Amino acid sequence: MLDRNKNQTFKSELRQDLVTGEWVVISPKRKKRPSTPFIEAHYRYKEQAECIFCDPVKSHQEKDVLIYYDGNKRWIVRVFPNKYPAFQRRNSLNKKLHGPYLTEDAIGFHEVVVTRDHKRSLAYIDLSEVAGVLRAYQERYIKLMNKKFVDYILVFYNHGRTAGASVAHPHSQLIAMPFVSMDIQKEIWGAEDYFLKNRECVFCRMVDQELTEKKRIVFQNEYFVVFCPFASRMGYEMWLVPKEHHPYFERLEQGGRDKAAEALKEALSRLDKLLEEPDYNFYLHTSPCDGRIHSYYHWHIEILPKYSTWAGFELGTGIEINTVLPENAAEELRLIV
Amino acid sequence: MLDRNKNQTFKSELRQDLVTGEWVVISPKRKKRPSTPFIEAHYRYKEQAECIFCDPVKSHQEKDVLIYYDGNKRWIVRVFPNKYPAFQRRNSLNKKLHGPYLTEDAIGFHEVVVTRDHKRSLAYIDLSEVAGVLRAYQERYIKLMNKKFVDYILVFYNHGRTAGASVAHPHSQLIAMPFVSMDIQKEIWGAEDYFLKNRECVFCRMVDQELTEKKRIVFQNEYFVVFCPFASRMGYEMWLVPKEHHPYFERLEQGGRDKAAEALKEALSRLDKLLEEPDYNFYLHTSPCDGRIHSYYHWHIEILPKYSTWAGFELGTGIEINTVLPENAAEELRLIV
């Protein structure tokens, strides 16, 4: 067998699919990133002593770009550049043709947001700490959104090994990228299209419908509603959506942030209780920072537990088969407290 | 906790995402399908004595719709309706509005293609049996393609638990569905667009490039080439593509079928050797059977090993991060024999 670790000096590049026009990131260096052994059974948490995120600076991670402390001057949240970035800062954007195939530098930023506690995820840490995490997302978002070549920033969280977390210590990530992907563009266009046809935001319409019908609601407070979407792609999928129309996550104010933190913690802890600590992903969808106005969009968070496997049919068609009625999922999540 | 098994009588339905317009299949009945315990370690093969696919008719599966025998009158390949169909035969297509949300009957067909041997997958059975499987795909495809409400048929294979196989005995599936999904449409439009701009099929162009460059080729014979696509979404992804322009899989002739079987068996057994029996999916992309002419499309098979996990970034953007250079993957797969 060949040495699979050669090409270490190869920087991440974007390659365009010649048929669909969609991009992929080719990033061999990321294969070298450490993967902490998860403890089996309750397999998310490896021994704390060896954890590279308990003290990120000591464990040779990059220097913090943001740090929050509590009243006792202990750090609570810290953000630092990913040591194995999928997208990387560069001064110019190179495009190249290889025969008919197009490549581009995978230019951008890739950061890690770590909370202090090694074992407690966002479902279990104090509400104020969850609010701190959202504040960190927002602060870093605002820093990165006006950088050159940044058209979209995705904030996401991988919880557990089967959800793609390579390090067990709870952490989120921000990736700032030089284009808006087709899937996100599809949502943006869908929202624009609905707005032009109905003179109404499609997410506002959904929120209205959910608040009226009530049967897919999991939790709500003054500003936010968590519900299982009518067309859930995954069993126990939840969306956390501002009740009022808000296109831009980065404009969230403190009062809203505290309420978003409450709703997020509620959603995740109900999921944990009901499905007995499943692995899951969540990500934040907001308007692109591509210099255009996106007043018809509506930011929100999508939570996808690893409830079932997307197999050949899903991969081959992009159509998900969900075996859980969203109305049943919501009822279970609502009653689990 | 509520009884998650209620709503057993609920038939599969399609629900449309209000934002993107994409459909999902909500199919609670499929949750009741048996899941055979896989043996850990080499975990694909459970005890043969309890296998529901070793004698599908005895184990209360549906009646065969197709069966092939060998010279000794032992069955080699059999096809029967999936007992827990995601798409189901119906006489009329009902659409309903629930507030702003649209649903449609999940009308169609869902069949299972089983080979005789309980333990040997397509990588290990005789070449003539692999050719038999392709012939069964084709024969059933031709039967289903002209049925009312059938616009697309996906043939796919889930290998191993993490690739979504619920039964360990090797089997493929056909799903005939009443619409062309957006992901497939994206490919169809991409091919059409390329053809109109370049007066050439985009897949033919790729085949040319691969045969010239050689460095992403894994295997080739007279009619087919297997290569790691330039923009591979997954480590060790392979595409099996006819060298000549062929829009329609169902028109494949016996000579071509035998060569396709050889190329498929080669691809899968090289993958098995190199990655030590990974789980994987493959699916067949061909022109829709929606009554339109698709002369610019080019059928092929895409093979996706479960080499890494698509996590929050992939789910949130649709952009995959692949940590294996396709050129390296192809070299390893080419040299492994």
> Distance (Å, rounded) from C-alpha B82 to C-alpha B85?
5
Nearest CA in chain A to B161: A309
Q: Taking the model in full, what pTM does it have?
A: 0.94
**Domains of chain B: which residue ranges?**
13-24+44-182, 200-335
Reduced to 3 states (helix: H, G, I; strand: E, B; else coil), residue A211 is: helix
Contact B315 A322 (CB under 8 A): no
**CB nearest to B99's CB, from A213, A302, A336:** A213
Burial class (CB in 10 A: 0-12, 13-18, 19+), A32: exposed
Using a CB–CB cutoff of 8 Å, tell me whether B317 touches chain A.
Answer: yes
Task: Report how many Cβ contacts below 8 Å link chain A to chain B.
Answer: 276
User: Tens of pLDDT along B87-128?
Assistant: 999 888 899 999 999 999 999 999 999 999 998 999 999 999
> Distance (Å, rounded) from C-alpha B226 to C-alpha B239?
5
> Distance (Å, rounded) from C-alpha B118 to C-alpha B134?
18
Using a CB–CB cutoff of 8 Å, tell me whether B34 touches chain A.
Answer: no
Using a CB–CB cutoff of 8 Å, tell me whether B84 touches chain A.
Answer: no
User: Tens of pLDDT along B280-314?
Assistant: 999 999 999 999 999 999 999 999 999 988 899 99
> Distance (Å, rounded) from C-alpha B12 to C-alpha B137?
24
User: What kind of architecture, by CATH, is found in domain A13-27+41-179?
Assistant: 2-Layer Sandwich (3.30)
Q: What is the reported pLDDT for B49?
A: 64
> Distance (Å, rounded) from C-alpha A144 to C-alpha A200?
30
Is the pLDDT at A62 greater than 80? The verdict is no
Is the pLDDT at B46 greater than 60? The verdict is no
Domain B13-24+44-182 has CATH 3.90.1150.10: no
pLDDT band at B251 (very low <50, low <70, confident <90, very high): very high
- Listed in sequence order, the residues at least 6 apart from A61 whose beta carbon sits closer than 8 Å to its beta carbon are A52, A53, A80, A83, A112
Q: What is the reported pLDDT for B3?
A: 45
**CB nearest to B163's CB, from A20, A86, A311:** A311
Q: Which of residues 35-64 of B touch A (CB under 8 A)?
A: none
Contact B335 A311 (CB under 8 A): no
DSSP state of A31: G
Q: Among candidates A249, A233, A190, A257, which has minimal Cα distance to A324?
A: A233
Using a CB–CB cutoff of 8 Å, tell me whether A120 touches chain B.
Answer: no
Do domains B13-24+44-182 and B200-335 share one topology? The answer is yes
Q: How far is B155 from chain A (nearest CA, A)?
A: 8
Q: What is the reported pLDDT for B40?
A: 43
> Distance (Å, rounded) from C-alpha B145 to C-alpha A285?
39
In this structure, which amino acid lies at residue B331? E
- What is the 3-state secondary structure of B60-73? CCCCCCEEEECCCC
User: Tens of pLDDT along B58-92?
Assistant: 776 778 999 999 999 999 999 999 989 999 998 88
Contact B231 A194 (CB under 8 A): no
Contact B332 A98 (CB under 8 A): no
User: Tens of pLDDT along B8-17?
Assistant: 567 899 999 9
Using a CB–CB cutoff of 8 Å, tell me whether A23 touches chain B.
Answer: yes
In this structure, which amino acid lies at residue A7? N
Q: In Å, what is the CA distance from B243 to each residue of B78, B208, B226, B227, B257?
A: 30, 8, 10, 12, 13
Contact B173 A2 (CB under 8 A): no
- Starting from the edge strand earliest in sequence, which strands make up the sheet with B13-16, in order? A321-322, B23-26, B13-16, B101-105, B95-98
Nearest CA in chain B to A87: B321
User: Which residue has 């996590």 as its token pair?
Assistant: B311
Nearest CA in chain A to B308: A164
User: What kind of architecture, by CATH, is found in domain B200-335?
Assistant: 2-Layer Sandwich (3.30)
Q: How far is A47 from chain B (nearest CA, A)?
A: 23
pLDDT band at B202 (very low <50, low <70, confident <90, very high): very high
Is the pLDDT at A78 greater than 80? The verdict is yes
DSSP-based helix, strand, coil % in chain A, nearest 5: 30, 25, 45
Reduced to 3 states (helix: H, G, I; strand: E, B; else coil), residue B76 is: strand
Mean pLDDT across A64-70? 95
Q: What residues in B contact A194, CB-CB < 8 Å?
A: 18-19
Contact A182 B335 (CB under 8 A): no
In this structure, are residues A305 and A278 in contact, taking their beta carbons and an 8 Å threshold? yes
- Starting from the edge strand earliest in sequence, which strands make up the sheet with A280-285, in order? A66-69, A75-81, A109-115, A171-177, A152-159, A280-285, A300-305, A238-242, A224-227, A217-220
Q: Among candidates A86, A126, A131, A78, which has minimal Cα distance to A106?
A: A86
DSSP state of A252: -
Quickly count: other Cβ atoms within 10 Å of residue A330's Cβ.
25
Is the pLDDT at A47 greater than 90? The verdict is no
ipTM greater than 0.85: yes
Contact B20 A203 (CB under 8 A): no
CATH number of A183-335: 3.30.428.10
What does pLDDT average to over chain A?
Answer: 91
C-alpha triplet B74, B79, B84: angle, nearest 5°: 135
**CB nearest to B324's CB, from A28, A152, A173:** A28
